[in-house]
Structure 1
């Protein structure tokens, strides 16, 4: 159905002249002049009685304008209403009637200049508006549409429309904002199987995908058809119903028109023939702006539970003063000029008017006393709906544009001598420029403004559909989407005002393919599944995720480390082997204790300097060994405390040189034992080599090699203070970077080489007759020494942070204590506790 508006200065009262409102067949010849006053009720009719309000809104607007002396004085508006029957050929036929004579169908020929076609208001169906435009565009006749805009393609000429609805891109953004706000990422979509439905899908799909929202299913609503095909359509809807109910998506976006609601209302009754069970509960329906709660005659008393809690985007509408009373006053007996009211009355109240021509009338008789307010709101609404509000504003937009055109001195001339301004016959195309940018306040006080592109500048309201237990229906405004508002105010939603479907027990529903991967977890997508379907895995060691649904975990900065839940980076604390900590204090105490013991041993030996047991095996080497052991224990203290540059340079090199001196002394003592045994053989030539000079040479030469290695180390890549941020996850370890690891292991390797030689020689001579079996004691000491340092390397490499330093200190103390104990404890025992054995005779006796 669509209407045309004409200006007519012969009649001040508009009349409605049209064929039947119901879809029963094509119009006959002389369609626009045929007054329908009596229509027999047909039980097969599939009209939507609620759309009758659109006609009333049109008539009411024209009535108000004609009664307003300030708007269009001396000009009277009239209108005709035509039905397209959703068939292109009848749409074109009716369109040609608009540009034809009143009495005969002669397109492009009109002789009555007092009846001028000013504009056409298109129908709800976009295709109807498109078919109209292909003809009207030739004559530049403006068309105002209050439904979806037709889809244009490359083969379509640039047709002009004045759209009384906001651009659909605003609605797409509004839907996206709603889904993001409630974090609904798994949604189903129902669209019309039309070009506009495909356009919506093409426009919204990339945006949804970009924001991480997936389609659980995508179904199409059958297009409007005649009753002969309704069974096939319902079978298709039954399959759609089963797929919807099988889906885990709780949110269903429905892009449709008024008649789409007729199909949706079939859903609760498709699975069971008895029409009573298996209602599609547990879904939140999100309706687009063109959808209204409507019903056909069969659905008058059907329940509305499935729509309870639905959310819909609606174009702003308001109650027009006087419209409610205008609608209530409609009555078949008092409104003779209304050619639609009798058919509407029969549809709405399921009755028929008595017909004197027909003897028998099937069904109840319409009395005309039925009350409109007794009808369900889904069947007829006394308040102005969104579509009716747009039609009302469309009529006023034409009137204001026409008023501006008639007042323009540039396009119209004044008739002098007091006759005022008289509208000359003008082509309708001149009205286009005045419709662009038209702005006015309607009788409800709302501002209506069309921009230069012919689009209405308005916001969307978010409405919550509430179905009461008595099946009464009302809508509650819970939000607003205003494209002209600041970004932070463009989308406003009041969650506390929303009533959710009873299935969710008034708790905000979730709609996700997979539950969120919370901080501390990352997503792993499932192969062959939409990207909204994934598995959650804990972040690996050393990584975190601090947001929901992160694709990958990331490492914390060097100065921080992950907490236990792996969702936060915590600053690392500074760590080093300190005297204030138990470990450092314990090692320092051990080192000092053994220093004291070594000093006591050295003092004891010096006190009994001239006794045979001290004089045996070279006193100078013995004192050198004790002093080097004392320094070894003291060198362990260099590893404790805050690392400084000088300390880092000294601690490894000093430790390496001092230990080399100690091991060299042990090697010298071992070699001296061998030589001492060999010179006892008659005629031995080795006697000349035995003496203090040989022992000192061994110690000096072996120590010099280690000192040379350390000098090269310090010259090429010296150690330096460093902060280790990676070895231990929770701390920054302050220590000394060895500079060259190769040189470090060269120092250890050379020291180990000396120890192995000493152990080998001592082991070979362990059974030689010697005073107090010193060779055997040296063997034990070197066995301890080699065992400690062989176990040191893997232990050192397997530990991290300050414990690496602790392992090295421990190795220094234990190996030094092994040398001290194994070599000097037996001698101190004799010196202190068994002085009778500390005599020359006992030494000679033991050697023998």
Structure 2
């Protein structure tokens, strides 16, 4: 013991295990082998899986106590009287091999009523059912060895013997019982030599007793670990010419040279025949070979094996008396009317709820971004869904938008190429160009609605749609107002003559478009759109969509477009009867009628749709209304330009005088 330990002001370091033994390692393998066999056997503990935690006590009582507390609490840093075990229910303890450590472990396991099965402890004190009510053994008590030893001594007439024992309480008690049996059979004990590895003075006295003894038969009562020290000390200091009788089975004696055991008798526990050839008085243990002696050690390993199986069979045979079995994970308990609380039925959790352990009273609701799996015992991430180019619906809408934009571009090209024709000049070229350009952009802006919603696309797709559509409707309104002003300005004394020209439609389109721009700016400043997940519309699917931010701002922007469309429809309806072969008011009237019908039908369809289909409905409405404007206003012009270029229009354009 060094100076630091004597001062008692430092926490002692934990005892380290040295010199690992293959003999003990085979015990470890036997335990694992038995557990795996049981888990694979459908006839033992079905639907249950045994686990294990294995600790090495290193023949240290303090370490055995610390390991036991670690198992009880479920943590390496043990906390007495608290259980933090999250890896299963603790069933029992198996061990220890040594009696002294079995006492330590059992003193703690008895408090919590955990069963313990020892496969090597033979101390008769462990037979006390009042002190150790939960301790069981797969090896017989050492008290039967004491009677056997006394009978051997009596048989050979050995009445003068010595006793060697280790300095622990268990073997001190065993020595007293051995002395009692020897005295009872008529023998005498010359000395009792107590061996310790700690005290050098006691160790010296021990060797002096052995040297000065006249007894040729010495009984050894010690555990296998201490026995190695005893034999090593004897073999080193003196020449051993004594006949040794070991009071218990020594499973690791193969670690020590057989020459040190010449003339020794070992009391062994065997349930079947002992396969050893008959020997003469001149034979020694060294003649048997170390391999044979090592094989005989397997009975301790087998004791451990049957200890694990005994535990498993005990758990399997525990009787059950319940009204109904366990409600497995994924199910909850539900009361049965007219029956006691012990009788219930197992009801599977609803969609979106789970029961992750058995016998739950209530199911647990999954978070908004998760959904219950098929077994209702685990929450899993919802599938993220959006209208993408990869799926047939998204791809079809994208192709349709591109084809319509190409069609509008071709119409624009035809109009520009024939810009000097009477039919193009008569209907305000600038507004025709503006309308066709905005129609091309309106077809293309639908592509912003496809694909994974991102912050940029969410912010600009509705705004782009609103501004472009406002410009389109403003251009249509400007064309109609231009026709009305032109035909009413020819009336004598009309004040509308000053409004004739390109200035009025230009200002009208700019002012009306500016109104929508102001609405969108206020929308951005107040609450801009952003990507968001819709977790409520569809149970197992999480739709990634654009949240409009402010629903009020969105409806104001769309309502502004609807107001302009209504005004354009009314204006075109009033101008439809004006006497001009190139008066397109009737075409505008029909186009605005189509436009309004599409968007009126859009509102209930949009509100009744869910997830990505809401986006598809809006894209279809944009494409349909824009196609109505393109087809109703410009297809008749293209028909005249391409198919009837020589049509005489001068005569038909003359106004009636009456």
TM score, norm. by length of structure 1 = 0.39
Question: As a proportion of its length, which structure holds more helix?
Answer: 2
Specify which structure has the bigger relative contact order, considering alpha-carbon pairs within 8 angstroms and separated by 6 or more residues: 1
